[in-house]
């Protein structure tokens, strides 16, 4: 029997991952099956189970694999920026590049949305998304701290809050891309992301603004009131 090389194993894993990414993106976690992955990949059931014990393990593995690959690729691009503003622009461009790439592959961006949908009921998926967020925020935090040290950004900004909020903004652009479908224009996403970046850079020349209080008032949807009333009458 010929010996299976590490390179061959890696190629098979990548083939399975690419197929599973399309399958989960198209069908969602619950409706997707290993048989779907078998058909999409052209491999046997045995080949799939050689590398992944279950659909859950395959789903989580793809998530972790994708995050690791994208963060590594982003880190390789950032040194090309001569200023922090340039590096932040590179990060925005890279994020939108991943949206374009996954859309071209098929299922990539919707795969992430399916993961968010599963987070509440599937703790392992939620933990994976937390790891993903932490890695993205860590990169953002490092860039912001560098910007403060170089005088490009104000010292008074909350580095962790800004990094987390900006990562959420970029993920929001993913949702907009899905909503717009064929009408999606990358230039519009660039404009939206850059407009916030410009505000951040402009803040370097200003003093800290007065504190902003966020009001909170209970909100009960009308349908919830009706449902509660119906249940009360039924009992």
Examine residue 27 and state whether it is found in any structural domain, yes or no: no
Examine residue 12 and state whether it is found in any structural domain, yes or no: no
Q: State both tokens at 61.
A: 């593995």
- Calpha distance 57→166 (Å, rounded): 30
Structural domain containing residue 149: 55-206
Q: State both tokens at 174.
A: 């993913």
Examine residue 68 and state whether it is found in any structural domain, yes or no: yes
- Calpha distance 147→26 (Å, rounded): 40
Indicate the number of domains in the chain. 1
Examine residue 144 and state whether it is found in any structural domain, yes or no: yes
Examine residue 65 and state whether it is found in any structural domain, yes or no: yes
- Calpha distance 50→53 (Å, rounded): 7
Examine residue 26 and state whether it is found in any structural domain, yes or no: no
**pLDDT tens, residue by residue, 157-211:** 999 999 999 999 999 988 898 888 889 999 999 999 999 999 999 988 888 889 8
Examine residue 48 and state whether it is found in any structural domain, yes or no: no
**pLDDT tens, residue by residue, 122-152:** 888 888 889 889 989 999 999 999 999 999 9
Q: Are 65 and 108 in contact (CB under 8 A)?
A: no
Closest CA to 140 of 176, 110, 118, 165: 165
Examine residue 197 and state whether it is found in any structural domain, yes or no: yes
Q: Residue 130 sits in a domain of what CATH number?
A: 1.10.357.10
- pTM attached to this predicted model: 0.79
């Amino acid at each position: 029997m010929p010996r299976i090389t590490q390179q061959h194993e890696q190629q098979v894993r990548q083939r399975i991952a690419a197929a599973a990414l399309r399958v989960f993106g198209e069908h969602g976690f619950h409706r997707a099956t290993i048989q779907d992955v078998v058909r999409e990949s052209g491999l046997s059931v045995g080949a799939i189970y050689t590398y992944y014990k279950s659909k859950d393990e395959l789903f989580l593995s793809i998530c972790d694999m994708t995050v690791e690959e994208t963060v590594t690729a982003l880190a390789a691009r950032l040194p090309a920026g001569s200023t922090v503003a340039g590096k932040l622009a590179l990060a925005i461009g890279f994020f939108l590049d991943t949206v374009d790439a996954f859309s071209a592959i098929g299922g990539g961006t919707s795969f992430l949305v399916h993961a968010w949908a599963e987070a509440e009921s599937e703790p392992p998926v939620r933990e994976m998304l937390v790891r993903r967020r932490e890695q993205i925020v860590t990169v953002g935090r490092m860039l912001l701290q560098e910007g403060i040290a170089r005088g490009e950004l104000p010292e008074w900004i909350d580095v962790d809050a800004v990094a987390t909020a900006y990562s959420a903004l970029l993920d929001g652009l993913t949702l907009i891309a899905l909503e717009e479908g064929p009408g999606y224009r990358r230039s519009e996403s660039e404009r939206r992301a850059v407009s916030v970046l410009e505000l951040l850079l402009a803040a370097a020349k200003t003093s800290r603004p007065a504190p902003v209080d966020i009001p909170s008032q209970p909100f009960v949807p009308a349908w919830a009131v009706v449902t509660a009333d119906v249940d009360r009458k039924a009992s």
